[in-house]
Amino acid sequence: MRAGRVGEAHRDGGSGGAYARVDVAELVRIRTRHPERIAEAAARRRRRPLLGDRGRLMIVAADHPARGALGAGGRGLAMANRADLLERLCLALSRPGVDGVLATADILDDLLLLGALDHKVVMGSMNRGGLQGASFELDDRFTGHRPEDIHRLGFDAGKLLLRIDYDDPGSLTTLESTARAVDEMAARRLPVFVEPFISRRAPDGRLVNDLSADAVTRSIAIASGLGGSSAYTWLKVPVTDNPDDMAQVMETSTLPAVLLGGEVGGQAGDQAAAYEKWRGALQLPTVQGLVVGRSLLYPADGDVAAAVDTAVGLL
C-alpha cells in the first residue's frame, strides 16, 4: 500500500474482487493526529476526464447516510456500518468499467485515505439538508459540498437534489438556491448533476416522488432552465413508472443525462427488473450512463461484484 492508504489488500471469496479491508482504528488515528493528510491525499490524487474512452459513465452513489436514509433491501440500518460500507465501495470501485463515486465529505475523505479514488471520477454531494422523514424534508438546503470545496479538493463534479412540491411555497427557495449553485459550478467550469423530482405529501405525511411521464417531463424542463448557463449542467433522472414512456420524456432537453438507479426491493427478481428498465433507457441519445447506489452495494444475493458487473454490462 502506498503511504496514505489505510487497510490491507483483501480478496472477496464470493466474487474474486480485491479491495481494501478497512482498519477503522487507523482511520480514527489519522483523523485525530493528522487530519491534514486528507487534503494531502486529495492533492496527489491522480485524476481522469469525466468521460473516458467509452463515452459512458458508471458511478456508484453513497450519499444516502447524510440524509438519514440508511435502509437498503428491506434492512432499515443496512448502511449504518461505516467500515462495511467502505469495503463495499472499495470493491465496487475496483471492478472494471466503474468510473467513480458520488458521496458526501465524510465518505470521500475516508476513500481518499484508503487510496481508492485514483483515476476515478469523484462527485461531491451538495445538498443533504432534506432529511428523510423530517417535516422539513423538502427544504433541501446546501449542507454538503460547496462549489468552492469541490474546486479546492480537485474533485470532478457535484450533484444536487431538486424536489419540487407545487403545494409547498418553500419549493421556490429551493429552486433559487439550486440556480445559484448551478451558476457557481459553471463559473468554475465544473459539471453539476441535477436530480429533479416533482414531489408531494401522501395522506400519511410521507414524501412521494411522482414518476409518471408527465411529472418527470416537467421536472426535466424545470431543471434544464436553472441558472445563467446550462453549459456544465447534467441531469440525473429516474426511469418512469412505465419505461416505454422514457423515449418521449427524454426529448424534453438536450442536456446530457444519467439514470438514477433508485432503491430496489430485496428480492433477486426486483434487481433483474431494474436492470431491464435501465437497459432500454440507456439506448436513448441523451442518456450517458448510470448512477446507482444501494441496489448495487447491497444486492439481494449479497454479491456486490456481480451486481456491479451486470450494471456495467448494460452500458
Would residue 214 count as lying in a domain?
yes
pLDDT over 50 at 94, yes or no? yes
Query: Any idea what DSSP says for residue 70?
Result: -
In this prediction, residue 8 carries a pLDDT of: 45
In this prediction, residue 266 carries a pLDDT of: 55
Q: Hey, which of 73-77, 268-272, 285-289 has the most confident mean pLDDT? A: 285-289
C-alpha pair distances (Å), 50 with each of 28, 176, 192, 305 = 31, 27, 11, 23
Per-residue model confidence as pLDDT tens digits over 147-180: 999 999 999 999 999 999 999 999 999 999 999 9
Q: Which domain holds residue 68?
A: 8-313
Would residue 296 count as lying in a domain?
yes
In this prediction, residue 88 carries a pLDDT of: 96
CA angle (161, 212, 134) in 5-degree steps: 40
In this prediction, residue 20 carries a pLDDT of: 60
In this prediction, residue 267 carries a pLDDT of: 61
CATH number at residue 244: 3.20.20.70
Count of domains forming the chain = 1
Residue 133: left (phi > 0), alpha (psi -120 to 50), or beta? left
In this prediction, residue 17 carries a pLDDT of: 47
Per-residue model confidence as pLDDT tens digits over 192-234: 999 999 999 999 999 999 999 999 999 999 999 999 999 999 9
In this prediction, residue 275 carries a pLDDT of: 85
Q: Which residue has the higher pLDDT, 174 or 21?
A: 174
pLDDT over 90 at 25, yes or no? yes
pLDDT over 90 at 264, yes or no? no
Mean pLDDT to the nearest integer, 272-281: 87
pLDDT over 90 at 135, yes or no? yes
Choice among 35-39, 189-193, 276-280 with the minimum mean pLDDT: 276-280
Would residue 265 count as lying in a domain?
yes
Per-residue model confidence as pLDDT tens digits over 31-84: 999 999 999 999 999 999 999 888 899 999 999 999 999 998 788 899 999 999
Would residue 1 count as lying in a domain?
no
Mean pLDDT to the nearest integer, 108-133: 96
- pTM above threshold 0.75: yes
Would residue 38 count as lying in a domain?
yes
Report the residue count for the chain: 315
In this prediction, residue 19 carries a pLDDT of: 52
Would residue 69 count as lying in a domain?
yes
Average pLDDT, the chain: 91
Would residue 19 count as lying in a domain?
yes
pLDDT over 70 at 7, yes or no? no
Written as nine digits, the cell of 121 is 471520477
In this prediction, residue 270 carries a pLDDT of: 72
Helices (H), 71-205: 82-94, 105-113, 147-152, 171-187
Cell 464470493 belongs to residue: 14
pLDDT cut 90: percent of the chain above it: 83
Would residue 228 count as lying in a domain?
yes
Q: Are 120 and 93 in contact (CB under 8 A)?
A: yes
In this prediction, residue 261 carries a pLDDT of: 82
H or E element, residue 192: strand 192-201
Mean pLDDT to the nearest integer, 1-15: 41
